[in-house]
Amino acid sequence: MIHSKDQLNKLRDQYDIVIAGGGLVGISLACALAVSHQQLSILLVDNFPIKGMSQDGVVAGPVYHPSFDARATALSMASIEIYQRLGVMDDLLSHAAPISDIHVSDRGHSGSTVLNAAQQAKTAFGYVIENQWLGAVLLNRLMSLPSIELLSEAKVANIVPRQKVTRVTVSAHNQESHHGVEVDAALLVVADGAQSGLRESLGITASVKQYDQQAVIANVQTQLPHNGQAFERFLADGAVAFLPLPDLPSAPRRSALVWTMPNQHEVNRENNIADLNDQDFISELQSAFGFRLGEIQQIGHRQSYPLALTLANEVIRNHIVIMGNAAHSLHPVAGQGFNLSLRDIAALTELVSQAAVNNKDIGELSLLESYSKAQLKDQKNTIGFSHYLIELFGRQALPIQAGRSLGLLALDILTPAKHRFSDQASGLSGRRPVL
């Protein structure tokens, strides 16, 4: 059920769960909770209008939303398992491309490795889907779940923790809190992004490490088909990744580009690479990436954004949990940020569903502490894996350059090392929660 900002009076006085933020994390969590326990009442509050939906509530095309932007997401196999349980795999796979091989190389050095899914008895390492289509698939699933209410063009304007609930004030996105309505939640989930205003309003600080880098993203068309190959090429000052995308009738041989590079003030040239015209940008990209897919023929609309590691110093309080980028925002070098959030979603859903079945308080601090402790190892390993790659391939000292070349060569030779690397990238290491 969808409410507009003008229908605040239709909200209940109390919900089991209120989710602040209707991006990919918020909408995935809402669907997971509703599928896992159908009796939970869930309110999803989002600041933006739902565009691309027909009058009968069906999303036929990509959804345009700041969280569902031009970026593509590489879903690990652990994430695919989660979405399988949510009942969205047929729709998802119709807009996704499998990753059958991962080619990792270091520009100017001899080391390289190719990971092949079939050789490791995997159907794929993951699937790549554009965020706009992932958003559409999830929104269609949400509309089929009667226990979820979606309030668009609205915000959680105020939070008042109480002993047994968290009281939130919900208002239209362009109005002050005194124009809103009060709603009690047994559990409030804050998922409003890395620059979380709600996290800050709760007095929860975040540690931020600036990488002095930006990511440039776009879709590219190449001369040769990718055949399910993903490429990551480490450069002297960043990395360039090509992720396979499904063909379109009007645009075959597509890949999603993620190019991390220094911020503008770090680039020793008259113009920032990200600001070049298409022809000059393609020339720079071709030089950085090489001709593994032949000539780069076209590039779509480009976007850039700064890169930082953001970690909330608290992720739980009584009847409150912080999730998604509001809890941890990672560098995209290993493609792990959203996949980590999905595993967080699975873990929280498992505990909340069990508590609800046993008529326990789903927002009790001890329960949320169990969630936090269960996910801490996964979060540390994933964040450490991403940060290690940045540190290793971002240094130019000769011993380190030699060491990383030897590391890639060893990875190519030693099958167990390949398996460990691919399992980490696929999200298949460690315990996986059951929804």
- For 85, the domain range is 2-89+132-207+309-383
Going by pLDDT thresholds of 50, 70 and 90, the confidence category of residue 272 is confident
Query: Whole-prediction pTM value?
Result: 0.88
Give CA–CA dist 154/171, Å, rounded.
Answer: 6
Phi, psi of 271 (to 5 degrees): -120, 145
Residues 6+ apart with CB under 8 A from 105: 111, 112, 113, 231, 232, 233, 234, 408
Bridge partners of 14?
184
Going by pLDDT thresholds of 50, 70 and 90, the confidence category of residue 400 is very low
pLDDT digits (tens, 9 = 90+) for 150-202: 999 999 999 999 999 999 999 987 777 667 899 999 999 999 999 999 999 99
> For residue 9, is it within any domain?
yes
* SS3 label, residue 168: strand
pLDDT of amino acid 142: 96
> For residue 379, is it within any domain?
yes
Give CA–CA dist 292/103, Å, rounded.
Answer: 10
Q: What percent of the chain has pLDDT over 90?
A: 55
Higher per-residue confidence, 71 vs 223: 223
> For residue 402, is it within any domain?
no
Q: Tell me if 171 sits within 8 A of 180, measured CB to CB.
A: yes
- Closest to 194 measured CA to CA, from 333, 314, 312, 305: 312
Out of 24-38, 69-83, 107-121, 343-357, least confident range: 107-121
Higher per-residue confidence, 311 vs 420: 311
Phi, psi of 302 (to 5 degrees): -100, 145
* SS3 label, residue 163: coil
Q: Tell me if 363 sits within 8 A of 320, measured CB to CB.
A: yes
Q: At what angle do helices 365-393 and 337-357 cross, to 10 degrees?
A: 170
pLDDT of amino acid 396: 46
pLDDT digits (tens, 9 = 90+) for 142-163: 999 999 999 999 999 999 999 9
Number of domains in the chain: 1
For β-strands 296-299 and 206-222, DSSP reports them as: antiparallel
Tokens of 394: 């971002």
User: Does the pLDDT at position 389 exceed 80?
Assistant: no
Give CA–CA dist 259/235, Å, rounded.
Answer: 10
CATH of the domain at 156: 3.50.50.60
Give CA–CA dist 285/65, Å, rounded.
Answer: 28
**Is the sign of the CA dihedral 159, 160, 163, 166 positive or negative?**
negative
> For residue 49, is it within any domain?
yes
Q: At what angle do helices 77-85 and 24-36 cross, to 10 degrees?
A: 50
* SS3 label, residue 135: helix
Distance of CA 257 to the CA centre of its chain: 16
Bridge partners of 312?
206
Say how many CA atoms lie within 13 Å of 371 toward its Cβ: 31
Place of tokens 């595993």: 343
**Mean of all residue pLDDT scores within the chain:** 84
> For residue 59, is it within any domain?
yes
> For residue 427, is it within any domain?
no
> For residue 34, is it within any domain?
yes
Q: Tell me if 285 sits within 8 A of 298, measured CB to CB.
A: no
pLDDT of amino acid 380: 84
Give CA–CA dist 411/115, Å, rounded.
Answer: 9
> For residue 328, is it within any domain?
yes
